[in-house]
């Protein structure tokens, strides 16, 4: 399987440091805390997301839906400013807090996974405020330990350059890695690909001459 080969090559090159990623740092917290953290990491660096998350937690103490709803949108915006787009994010966090109070999200997702499968659980999560395909996949993979493959901007770029998909289409890229990777490697391969995108297959001037997966890469063969 090509996903396994890529995993082996990348894991020989990079030592994974979970501190470099926000989502693994949030594991062990409640589902609401985890979801807020992942929501803060959308379209910003993990470092900025982590600063915003810490500011929120340090101010309100325990990050629960009830405590969030005691703050105004302005107060939340000011706290999460390091993540950027603070007003829209604050609104989503408030809507999310309401959704968590109205419904037992955790049990519902677990039930969906158990009785209907991951895809149905994913559709349910994507109906929640601020939760798109990537956030749903991060929640499923990293919080519920359910098999799915989140695709971020690095993974999309690498997949396209390597020639594994022809379009920058989220579902197509996700489907490629899921079909070509053993399930137990979804999480480590996801993190290794992000690391590879940050360090070697950078958006500008990828370092192809030192890339450990260049033998599989269409971009390299054509360059």
**Does residue 213 interact with ligand SF4 by CB under 6 A?**
yes
**Would you say 3 or 206 has its CB closer to ligand SF4?**
206
Q: Give the span between the Cα atoms of 194 and 200, in whole angstroms.
A: 10
Q: Are 11 and 222 in contact (CB under 8 A)?
A: no
**Does residue 206 interact with ligand SF4 by CB under 6 A?**
yes
Which stretch, 21-29, 109-117, 119-127, 214-222, contacts ligand SF4 (CB under 6 A)? 214-222
Q: Give the span between the Cα atoms of 191 and 202, in whole angstroms.
A: 15
Mask: binding to ligand SF4, 97-126, rule CB under 6 A, as x and -? ------------------------------
Q: Are 98 and 87 in contact (CB under 8 A)?
A: no
Instruction: Identify the CA nearest to 53 among candidates 70, 72, 69, 39.
Output: 39
- Shortest distance, position 168 Cβ to ligand SF4, whole Å: 15
Q: Are 212 and 9 in contact (CB under 8 A)?
A: yes
**Would you say 146 or 217 has its CB closer to ligand SF4?**
217
- Shortest distance, position 215 Cβ to ligand SF4, whole Å: 9
Q: Are 48 and 84 in contact (CB under 8 A)?
A: yes
- Shortest distance, position 181 Cβ to ligand SF4, whole Å: 16
Q: Give the span between the Cα atoms of 56 and 52, in whole angstroms.
A: 6
**Does residue 217 interact with ligand SF4 by CB under 6 A?**
yes
Residue of 162, 191, 192, 194 interacting with ligand SF4 (CB under 6 A): 162
**Does residue 219 interact with ligand SF4 by CB under 6 A?**
yes
Angle (CA) 141 162 184, round 5°: 25
Q: Are 23 and 41 in contact (CB under 8 A)?
A: yes
Which stretch, 25-33, 72-80, 112-120, 211-219, contacts ligand SF4 (CB under 6 A)? 211-219
Please give the residue ranges that form the binding site for ligand SF4 (CB under 6 A). Answer: 158, 161-162, 200-201, 206-208, 211, 213-214, 217, 219-220
């Amino acid at each position: 399987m090509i996903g396994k080969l890529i995993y082996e090559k990348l894991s020989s090159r990079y030592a994974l440091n979970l501190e470099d990623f926000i989502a693994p740092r949030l594991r062990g917290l409640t589902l609401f805390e985890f979801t807020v953290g992942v929501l803060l990491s959308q379209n910003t660096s993990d470092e900025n997301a982590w600063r915003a998350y810490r500011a929120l937690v340090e101010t309100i103490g325990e990050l629960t839906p009830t405590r969030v709803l005691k703050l105004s949108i302005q107060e939340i915006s000011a706290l999460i400013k390091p993540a950027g787009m603070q007003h829209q994010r604050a609104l989503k966090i408030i809507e999310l807090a309401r959704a968590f109070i109205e419904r037992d999200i955790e049990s519902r997702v677990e039930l969906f996974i158990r009785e209907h499968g991951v895809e149905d659980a994913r559709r349910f999560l994507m109906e929640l405020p601020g939760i798109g395909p990537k956030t749903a996949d991060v929640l499923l993979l990293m919080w519920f330990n359910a098999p799915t493959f989140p695709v971020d901007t690095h993974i999309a770029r690498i997949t396209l350059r390597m020639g594994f998909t022809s379009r920058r289409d989220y579902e197509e890229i996700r489907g490629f890695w899921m079909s070509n990777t053993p399930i137990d490697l979804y999480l480590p391969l996801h993190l290794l690909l992000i690391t590879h995108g940050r360090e070697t297959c950078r958006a500008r001037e990828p370092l192809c001459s030192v890339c450990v997966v260049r033998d599989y890469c269409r971009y390299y063969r054509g360059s």
